[in-house]
Amino acid sequence: MKLHEYQAKTVFADAGIPTPDSQLASDVDGVVSAAEEIGYPVAVKAQVQVGGRGKAGGIKLVEDADEAREAADSILGMDLKGYHVDRVLVEEAVDFVNELYVGITMDRGEGKPVAMVSTKGGVNIEEVAEEDPDAIAREHIDPSFGMHPYQARKAVYDAGVDQSVARDVSSVLTTLYQLWDDKDGADAEINPLMVTADDEVIAADAVMNIDEDALFRQPELAEMEEEAAGGDELEQKADEYGFDYVRLDGNTGIIGNGAGLVMTTLDLVDHYGGEPANFLDVGGGAKAARIANALDMVFSDDNVDSVVFNIFGGITRGDEVARGINEALEQFDEIPKPVVVRLAGTNWEEGMEILNEDLVTVEQTLEDAVQRAVEYAGEVNDQ
Give the pLDDT confidence of 37-54 residue by residue, as tens digits: 999 999 999 998 888 888
What residues are annotated to the active site? Answer: 101, 189
Pairing assessment for the beta strands 278-281 and 244-247 based on DSSP bridges: antiparallel
- How does the average pLDDT of the chain come out, rounded? 91
Percentage, residues of the chain above pLDDT 70: 96
pLDDT of residue 382: 63
For 296, phi then psi, to 5°, come to: -60, -40
3-state DSSP assignment of residue 235: helix
Q: Are 284 and 314 in contact (CB under 8 A)?
A: yes
Whether residue 192 is preceded by a cis peptide bond, meaning omega within 30 degrees of 0, is yes
pLDDT score for 383 = 58
Specify the pLDDT at position 241.
Answer: 85
CATH fold group of domain 21-92? Dna Ligase; domain 1 (3.30.1490)
- Annotation: binding site for Mg(2+): 191, 205
pLDDT, block means (10 residues), the chain with 383 residues: 94 97 97 97 93 89 97 94 88 96 95 96 88 94 96 98 97 98 96 96 96 91 72 74 87 92 95 95 74 87 93 81 86 88 91 91 94 92 62
Q: Which CATH architecture group holds 233-382?
A: 3-Layer(aba) Sandwich (3.40)
**CA–CA dist 184, 172 (Å, integer):** 18
Q: What pLDDT does 232 receive?
A: 64
Q: Quickly list DSSP for 258-321.
A: SHHHHHHHHHHHHHTT--B-EEEE--TT--HHHHHHHHHHHHT-TT--EEEEEEEESSS-HHHH
Count other C-beta atoms under 10 Å from residue 112's C-beta: 13
Domain 96-227 has CATH 3.30.470.20: yes
* Annotated binding-site ranges: 45, 52-54, 91, 94, 99, 191, 205, 257, 314-316
Percent of the chain with pLDDT over 90: 67
Binding site residues for substrate, as ranges?
A: 257, 314-316
Q: Report domain extents, the chain.
A: 21-92, 96-227, 233-382
